[in-house]
Every structure is written in C-alpha cells, then in structure tokens.
C-alpha cells in the first residue's frame, strides 16, 4: 500500500518538530518490510506513542483508538482519515479483528500495543494473546518497536536525542509452536515481550 498524500504530509510535519526540539532519531529502520502486511508491536507508556511511532515508521499505519474518541463527529472523522479503528476499552470485537486482518492481508501495516494499555511505571509489561491472534489470522510478521522518551516529553526535550525509536528483530508467527491455537497466541506474545524487553535493556 502506498502512503496517501495527506498522511505523508502530516507525517513530515510531525517529524520536523520532533527532530528539531527532541532530537528524534530512528535505529534499525532497515528491518521494516517495504511491502506486504506487517504488525508493528510497540511498547506503550504515553498518549504520544501513536504519534511518535507513526512519525518514525516509513509506512502508512492503521491503529486502534478507544471508541469514546469517535463521539465527536469532527474529531472522529479526522482520526478515521488517518486510519484509526474504533475499539471498546478492554475488548477487541470480532468485527474489528476481521477489519484489521483484511488490512494486513491486503498489504497494510497495523500499529498495535500488545500490553493492552499504557504501562504506569514505564516498563515493558507482558503482552496479551491478541498480538498473536491477529498475526496468525493475517499470516503476517510482527515487528517489535521500542519507543523511548515518550513518557515524559518535557524531560526528553531537555535531553536531546532521548526521544527515539528502535526496531527489533521481526518475528514470524508461523515459526512459533504451541500445542493449541490459544497456546500459540500466548507463545507469540511471550516472544514479542522478550524482544521489547531486550530493546528496553539496551536502549531504555
């Protein structure tokens, strides 16, 4: 899928202040597949994460957003135009899974926070089985990405270069074994967690 003009323009506008004021940088970008579906699995500590990760990924991303954000018709329409997919807090419905699976199978990229919610202490938490379920259903690789410096943008501003995005090693869900489908999902989540924690231990 090619990046649409309005998405590319917005991404460029966002990257400028991130680089200018925070010294934003990206490492390991060559690990991102240039084409084909990919599930980008990132740690989650801040409301700024979707913006920062989106600015650091050179592909157009789809992402989940809580349903409440769509109550305002204007704002809901805006985030829909940037590929936001509404989801109920604490649950991912079958219709939503079917929609994002279709996007991934069609060659799109989905940003997903496998921990399910923001980490209050800033540390990487265990991934929920959802990341494995989506990756298996869509038959796409998972790219773990560690975002650093988003939890306290004020401190990152004072420490130029602190704000950064680090790409990990891609995970092929087909190579992760499990005695049952549910166990396979859990094992995939464990692999994602292990890679995010590895990145955290090096760059955090």
Put the strands of the sheet holding 109-112 in their side by side order.
Answer: 25-27, 164-167, 142-148, 38-42, 109-112, 61-66, 84-87
Tens of pLDDT along 72-90?
999 999 999 999 998 876 5
Nearest-angstrom CA–CA distance, 165 and 4: 23
Residue 22 is predicted with a pLDDT of 92
HSE at residue 188, side-chain half, CA atoms within 13 A, is 34
Helices 49-56, 5-22: inter-axial angle, 10-degree rounding: 100
The whole-angstrom distance between residue 151's C-alpha and the CA centroid of its chain comes to: 15
pLDDT at position 159: 72
In whole angstroms, give the CA distance from residue 89 to residue 112.
14
145 or 161: whose pLDDT is higher? 145
What are 154-169's pLDDT values in tens digits?
A: 776 767 778 999 999 9
Rounded CA separation 135/140 (Å): 5
* Residue range 39-85, pLDDT digits in tens: 999 999 999 999 999 999 999 999 988 889 899 999 999 999 999 99
What gap in Å lies between CA 65 and CA 189, rounded to an integer?
A: 21
pTM: 0.92
Q: Are 31 and 59 in contact (CB under 8 A)?
A: no
């Amino acid at each position: 899928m090619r990046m649409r003009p309005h998405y590319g323009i917005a991404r460029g506008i966002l990257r400028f202040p991130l680089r200018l004021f925070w010294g934003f940088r990206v490492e390991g970008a060559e690990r991102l597949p240039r084409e084909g579906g990919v599930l980008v699995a990132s740690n989650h500590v801040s409301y700024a994460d979707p913006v920062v990760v989106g600015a650091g990924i050179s592909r157009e991303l789809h992402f989940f957003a809580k349903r409440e954000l769509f109550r305002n018709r204007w704002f809901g329409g805006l985030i829909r135009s940037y590929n936001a997919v509404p989801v109920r807090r604490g649950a991912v419905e079958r219709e939503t899974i079917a929609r994002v699976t279709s996007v991934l199978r069609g060659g799109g990229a989905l940003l997903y926070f496998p921990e399910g919610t923001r980490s209050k202490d800033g540390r990487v938490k265990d991934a929920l089985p959802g990341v494995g379920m989506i990756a298996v259903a869509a038959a796409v690789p998972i790219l773990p990405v560690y975002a650093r410096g988003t939890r306290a943008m004020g401190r990152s501003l004072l420490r130029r270069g602190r704000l950064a995005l680090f790409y990990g090693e891609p995970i092929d869900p087909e190579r992760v074994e499990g005695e049952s489908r549910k166990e396979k999902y859990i094992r995939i989540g464990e692999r994602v967690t292990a890679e995010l924690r590895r990145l955290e231990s090096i760059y955090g």
